[in-house]
Chain A
């Protein structure tokens, strides 16, 4: 079975390394790292990962704007947002863009993995549903 591929968009080498270490032990493959939103958007278009793990606070455009642009380019994009900001106002902003999950930094590894698994299943069901409609 092909591994689920992930693009990490985060200016922090700490976060990128932690994400890589935990997800690659658990059946995922990180296929790219972007240090800011602009780079993330470009890499998404080039690599077409199954999921994007996206920080909010970054130099240049922030993660919320990046997510909005990704959604405009690909409404089926699957995004997990990570941030040190995890108050209810930020969560509302994230949901308003159409992103379901925001995990606070520093995260618990089991929470990160469980959320990625949920997203992976949502994505599979969504794509399976889309395939059925085409038949």
Chain B
């Protein structure tokens, strides 16, 4: 992972609130998923998918989204109109989910602090691959959600 300069004029609470609002509203709208916010919990890393997105510009950050496998399959199923997607298409659906959620959050952040920021295309990490230590040095907020079928954990390093 390339190093980035984090930082913004937002507080942890503001970043948390903006990303929370984005994840909850977008997950409901496009994936029919009700996210229940909980304090940080266990996510079995051998049974989850991890995608990451960088934001660059006025608000620099790394957003890491860990999704348990049942939630992953559910998101794809709903976004594909209630039918299973091919293996080739699965990542495209999840990428779009992360793109829309993070774009929604980033738009609110940009409107709040001014200036413009951009998202990179989401990248998925292979099982066992982790985020580099250099990317963990900035401030971070963690959002942990439970659903009826699994969990999502979002880490925003900024």
By a beta-carbon cutoff of 8 Å, the part of chain A in contact with chain B is 11-15, 17, 57-59, 62, 83-90, 93, 104-106
Given A12-B92, A62-B118, A87-B108, 17 extra CB contacts under 8 A: A12-B99, A13-B96, A14-B30, A14-B80, A14-B92, A84-B106, A85-B107, A85-B110, A85-B118, A85-B119, A86-B103, A87-B106, A90-B107, A93-B116, A105-B100, A106-B29, A106-B30
The 5 closest A-B CB pairs, nearest first, are A84-B103, A89-B116, A87-B110, A12-B96, A87-B107
| A-contact bits for B73-95, CB 8 A (1 contact / 0 none) | 00000011100010001001101
Whether B92 pairs with A88 at a CB distance below 8 angstroms is no
B33 on the interface (CB 8 Å rule)?
Answer: no
Contact A89–B93 (Cβ < 8 Å): no
The answer to whether the Cβ of B121 comes within 8 Å of any Cβ in the partner chain is yes
Q: Does B115 contact A (CB under 8 A)?
A: yes
- Which residues does chain B contribute within 8 Å of A12, judged by CB atoms? 92-93, 95-96, 99
Q: Does B26 make an interface contact (CB < 8 A)?
A: yes
Instruction: Describe B's contact surface by its main secondary structure.
Output: helix
Distance of A40 from chain B, by nearest CB (Å): 16
Instruction: Provide the bound-state CA to CA distance between A12 and B79, in Å.
Output: 10
Give the interface size bracket for B toward A.
20 to 34
Q: In the assembled complex, which residues on chain B have CB atoms less than 8 Å from the CB atom of A104?
A: 104, 107
Asked if B93 contacts A14 (CB within 8 A), the reply is yes
B38 to chain A, nearest CB (A): 25
CB contacts (< 8 Å) of A85 on chain B: these are 103, 106-107, 110, 118-119
Asked whether B111 is an interface residue with its Cβ less than 8 Å from the other chain, the reply is yes
Contact present for B93 and A58 (CB under 8 Å): no
Instruction: Please tell me if the beta carbons of A90 and B29 are within 8 angstroms of each other in the complex.
Output: no
Contact of B103 among A11, A17, A57, A88 (CB under 8 A): A57
**What B residues does A84 contact at CB under 8 A?**
99-104, 106-107, 119
User: How far is the CB of A72 from the nearest CB of chain B, in Å?
Assistant: 22
Greatest chain A CB density within 10 A among B30, B79, B100, B119 is at: B100
